Amino acid sequence: MNTDGTAHTGTANTDDDWTDRTVLVTGAEGFIGSTLVDLLVARGARVRALVHYKPYGEKGHLAHHLADPDGRVEMWAGDVRDAGRVNDAVAGCDTVFHLAALIGIPYSYASPGAYVQTNVTGTQNIAEACRRHGVRRLVHTSTSEVYGTALTVPISEEHPLQPQSPYSASKIGADMTALSFHHAFELPVTVVRPFNTYGPRQSARAVIPTILAQLHAGAREVRLGSLAPTRDFTYVTDTAEGFLAVARCERAVGEVVNLGTGEEISIGDLARELIAASGREAEVVVDPARLRPSGSEVQRLLSDNSRARAWAGWQPRVPLREGLRRTSEWVADNIALFAPDRYQV
C-alpha cells in the first residue's frame, strides 16, 4: 500500500542509467534491434550486437556505430541456432535483449521448419546461456500475432494464444520456452509482446513500407491484400523505449507485457492515411496474390497496455499521423532499398 492509501500497482525500477553496462542485443541489425541499440548507446551502455554472419561484411543499420571512437558497439557475427556461439556472446553481459527471429508470415507457409529452428531452438540456446552466466535480466521478444484474431478486446496478456500461422506457432513455442526457464530455473526473464511496430528502417515485408514504397515510386494504384483487418500500430522508438522500461521493472519478471497503443485502424483506412502522408494521389486495389489463407488471416489486433503503463511506467508518445509522416519521409529518402513493383514475401 502506498503512503496515500492507494494500492501499489507495480515495482518499476526508475534507474534508467545504463552507463558502462554490457548488454547483448540479438537481431541487432534489424528494424527494432538497431533502434534499441541506438537508445542503449545514447544512455551509456556498451552493446554487444549479435548479427547474422554475412561474408561481405555489410553492417546495415549499425554501420554508423563503427565510427564511434569509444567503440560502444561491438559486432558479433553469429546465429542463435549455434549454441556455442550464443554462449560466448552472452558471457559477461548484464542484460540480454533477444530480438533475433525469423519473421514474416507469408514465408512461414513455405518453410515452417526454419521458423522452429531459429525461433524456438534459438530461444532455448539464449535462455540456457543466460542461465549459465547468471544474467540480471533476459528480455525475450514475442509478437501480437500469437493472439490470433481477437476473441475479446482490448487484448490483455491473458488472452488465449492461437497459432494461426506457422510463424505465430513458432513464436508461441519460443515464448513458452523462455517462460519455462523462469519457472524451472528461476531465470529472470520477461516476455515483451509488441503489437505492430512501424517506422524508419522497416523492411518491405511489412504493410506500411509496402504501401509507402509503392506511393513514392509513383504508383497510381496501391496493391494490398485484405483491407478489413485492424491493427494497433506503435512507432519504433516507443517500442524500443518499452523494452528498456520493462528491463528495469521487477514486477515484470516471469511475466508477459504487451506494448501497443490501445488504438486500432483498418488496413484500408491506414492506406488512405499513408496516401495523405505521402502527398501522392492513388487508389487502393486488392491484389489476390497478397491475400493470406482465410483461416490464417488475423482479423483484429488491439492491445491492452495497462501492464506496461502500471508496472513499467511506459506509454507511447508518437501519434500515428506523426509517425506515418516520419516514416514516409524515410522511405522517400531510401526508395532505392525497395522493389515497389514486386511482392516481398
**Which among 147, 167, 198, 235 is annotated as catalytic?**
167
Nearest Cα residue to 313 out of 36, 2, 43, 12 = 12
Query: How far apart are the C-alpha atoms of 145 and 3, rounded to whole Å?
Result: 40
Query: How far apart are the C-alpha atoms of 154 and 311, rounded to whole Å?
Result: 18
Query: How far apart are the C-alpha atoms of 90 and 209, rounded to whole Å?
Result: 33
238 contacts 263 by C-beta, under 8 angstroms = no
Is it true that the peptide bond before 154 is cis, omega within 30 degrees of 0? yes
Query: How far apart are the C-alpha atoms of 150 and 162, rounded to whole Å?
Result: 9
Residue tagged 509507402 (cell numbers): 212
Query: How far apart are the C-alpha atoms of 103 and 105, rounded to whole Å?
Result: 7
303 contacts 262 by C-beta, under 8 angstroms = yes
328 contacts 235 by C-beta, under 8 angstroms = no
Dihedral sign for Cα atoms in the order 88, 94, 97, 98: positive
Nearest Cα residue to 36 out of 178, 122, 187, 141 = 141
β-strand 95-98 against 73-78: which pairing, if any? unpaired
Catalytic (active site) residue 235: no
Catalytic residues: 167
